Chains A and B, each alone.
Chain A
Amino acid sequence: MNFNATLIGQSITFIVFVWFCMKYVWPPLMTALEERKAKIADGLAAAERGQKDLKLAQSRAGDNLKESKQQAQEIINQAQKRANEIVDEAKDIARDEADKIKVAATSDIEQQVNSAREQLRKEVSSIALAGAEQILKREVNAATHGKVLDDLMAQI
């Protein structure tokens, strides 16, 4: 082992190399590594967030579905109720109408019966008068006995 100035040369070289490495080699690579680390961390966070969002959306979709089902059921129920109501109303109206028609018919019949009775009465009275005329012949004066005939007519 013989030492010579190589020792000094090597030391100087070493210092220069370390300085160069510290200045130009280490920082850019370290920056790239840090950047990638940050990027990966961001990516992972984003993925997690996405998953959470998906879960949230899924549960929201489920809720919506349930709600719509409920709403649909309600609408159907209401519709049925309404239909029932309409049917009931229609029945009521029909019944009223029928009653009205019945009343009208009854009164009509009554009227016709009355008028028929009137006519009958008139006819009976005239027949009776004619009969009486024929029976009595001249004995009975229409003018003098008119009042009696009217009373008879009213009694029929």
Chain B
Amino acid sequence: MSGSIETSAEYIKHHLTNLTFGHTEQHGWGIAHSAEDIAEMGFWSLNLDSMGFSIGLGVLFLWFFQKIGKAATADVPGGWQNFVEMLFEFIDESVRGSFSGKNALIAPLSLTIFVWVFLMNFMDLLAVDHIPFLASAIGIPYLKIVPSTDPNITFGLSLSVFALTLYYSFKFKGAGGFFAELAFHPFPKFMMPVNLLLEGVTLIAKPISLALRLFGNMYAGEMIFILIALMYGGGWALGLFGGVLQLGWAIFHILIITLQAFIFMTLTIVYLDMASQESH
């Protein structure tokens, strides 16, 4: 908590602001120090905290899994190899269950999504104040440590998946087939505009719902953690109650972060499966 924060509203607002790097008239290229700075920076700015944590967690995941993979043997597996293998088989089974075709990309993609999103969500379980407090001690004004509470991150994932969906649609159905799927369904051909509108909305809704579901869940969860954290300032009784609440919410949140990662992965597989089916 940087010293200037006094009211609850400011506390909350501070916690929901990203560490943004961009260009302003006043300071040139640099880190934003207020909401006005961020607004002025516009699109061509970067949330350093989201990017940093998401890349860091992704690298951690890949480094760890690659290390296990290198040492993996067909003999009796050790503890960590066992854990990783369990995860592998779980993902492999999910892909086999939902994806009807054969595609070397889907399984690694699913694994990446599941573990990465899970790790990003997991940051939510760290106490909301500790890391930002340390960061402010070394002069970093804002820090959001949960990347998946940043819509840029979730949309970055879902739009990439959407692009892959479009690619597979064109690849497996052809432009004509893809268009036919959008235009001649669910009503007969003469109602093509209605069909296009309906199917178009369905198509666009996929990446948006995918991203918003994850973002919404994580944002709401983070918000509750912040609100609970506010209670610590309200005397020992309220603080104790807040502690109990936080514990309860954190335990419940373990379920949510896993579930959200799983849903994101499963829906990705399902969307890609629908895109790779040749006939509708």
Residues of B contacting A33 with CB < 8 Å? 85, 88-89
Query: What's the least CB distance linking B84 to chain A, in Å?
Result: 7
Residue numbers in B under 8 Å from A20 (CB-CB): 62, 66
A75 within 8 A of partner (CB): no
Cβ contact within 8 Å between B41 and A4: yes
Given the interface contacts A20-B62, A33-B89, A35-B74, does A10 sit within 8 Å of B107 by beta carbon? Answer: no
- Chain A 72-113, CB-CB to B under 8 Å as 1, else 0, gives 000000000000000000000000000000000000000000
Q: Does B68 contact A (CB under 8 A)?
A: yes
Docked Cα-Cα span, A150 to B279, in Å, equals 153
Instruction: Say yes or no: is A68 at the interface (Cβ < 8 Å to chain B).
Output: no
Chain B min CB distance to A154 (Å):
125
Question: Which positions 12-40 of chain A face chain B at CB distance < 8 Å?
Answer: 13-15, 17-18, 20-22, 24-33, 35-36, 38-39
Question: What separation, in Å, do the CA atoms of A1 and B109 have in the docked complex?
Answer: 27
Contact status B108-A32, CB under 8 Å: no
The interface residues of chain B lying within 8 Å CB-to-CB of A4 are 20, 22, 41-47, 152
Chain A residues 46 to 83 lying within 8 A of chain B, measured CB to CB, are none
Number of interface residues of A (CB under 8 A): 33
Return chain B residues, CB-CB under 8 Å to A28. Answer: 69-70, 72
Q: Is B157 an interface residue (CB 8 A)?
A: yes
Contacts of B150 in A (CB 8 A): 6
Does B69 lie within 8 Å of A25, measured CB to CB?
yes
A3: which B residues are within 8 A, CB to CB? 43, 151-152, 155
* Inter-chain contact B112/A11, CB cutoff 8 Å: no
Q: Is A7 an interface residue (CB 8 A)?
A: yes
- A22 touching B153, Cβ below 8 Å: no
Question: What is the count of residue pairs linking A and B with beta-carbon distances less than 8 angstroms?
Answer: 122
Cβ contact within 8 Å between A29 and B88: yes
* B73 adjacent to chain A (CB < 8 Å): yes
Interface size class on chain B is 35 or more
Q: Are the C-beta atoms of B62 and A6 separated by less than 8 Å?
A: no
- The contact of A17 among B18, B68, B73, B112, by CB within 8 Å, is B112
A2 engages B38 (CB within 8 Å): yes
Nearest CB on B from A21, distance (A): 4
Q: Closest Cβ of chain B: how far from A84's Cβ, in Å?
A: 70
Q: How far is the CB of A78 from chain B (nearest CB, A)?
A: 61
| A contact residues around B155 at 8 Å (CB) | 3, 7, 10
A5:B85 contact, CB within 8 angstroms: no
Tell me if B271 is interfacial: C-beta within 8 Å of chain A.
no
CB neighbors of A among B195-227 (8 A): none
Contact at B69–A29, with CB atoms within 8 Å?
A: yes
Bound CA span A36–B155, Å: 39
Tell me, in angstroms, the Cα distance from A28 to B41 when the chains sit together.
44
Q: Which residues of B contact A36 (CB under 8 A)?
A: 74-75, 77
A11 to B105, CA, bound (A): 16
Alpha-carbon distance A3/B22, docked complex (angstroms): 13
Given contacts A5-B45, A21-B62, 11 further A-B pairs with CB under 8 A are A3-B151, A4-B22, A7-B152, A9-B156, A11-B160, A25-B66, A25-B111, A26-B108, A29-B68, A29-B69, A39-B74
Interface residues of A (CB under 8 A from B): 1-11, 13-15, 17-18, 20-22, 24-33, 35-36, 38-39
17 contacts between A and B (CB under 8 A): A4-B46, A5-B46, A6-B152, A7-B152, A7-B156, A9-B156, A10-B152, A10-B157, A11-B157, A17-B62, A17-B112, A18-B105, A21-B108, A21-B112, A26-B107, A27-B69, A28-B69
